[in-house]
Amino acid sequence: MSDAKSPFELMMAQAQEMAQAFNPALESFSPKGFEKLWPTMPKEVMEMWFGKGMSQEGLDAKTRLLLTLAGMTMQGAQAETPFRMTVRHLIEAGATREEIAETIAQMSMFAGIPAMTRAMELARDVLAENEEDDT
């Protein structure tokens, strides 16, 4: 077995060293902590901007956000922060845990099980955090 690191591993180690040299606090930086700075939009604001405010006969904000969640799942839930924020906004827009899970599960037929599994993990994290905040 070789202990040689891949070029990606070497690049990541170099980036971590550089970040620590610039600011030692960056060594323990977490994107999850950063996303807490972005507020969840109130349901009424989402409805005005993304729901019936655009078209009285169109989709409501919750449905539009479920479609967004489906699309992000189809892409493999790669953008973690936007994915988690979408789940938080869905909860605010009135979506149930079951609606969120069903939307993600439906995408397994098109995006595959790995994409669905990744999306479910991210959604579960947000739903668990939401339950903790409610208590």
Residue-wise pLDDT for 70-127, tens only, equals 999 999 988 899 999 999 999 999 999 999 999 999 999 889 999 999 999 999 999 9
DSSP readout, the chain? ---PPPHHHHHHHHHHHHHHHH-GGGGG--HHHHHTTSPPPPHHHHHHHHSTTT-TTS--HHHHHHHHHHHHHHTTS--HHHHHHHHHHHHHTT--HHHHHHHHHHHHHHH-HHHHHHHHHHHHHHHHHHHHHH-
Residue-wise pLDDT for 28-79, tens only, equals 666 666 666 667 777 777 777 776 666 677 788 899 999 999 999 999 988 8
CATH (one of 3.30.1050.10, 3.40.50.300, 2.40.160.40, 1.20.1290.10) for 38-134 = 1.20.1290.10
What pTM does this model have?
0.67
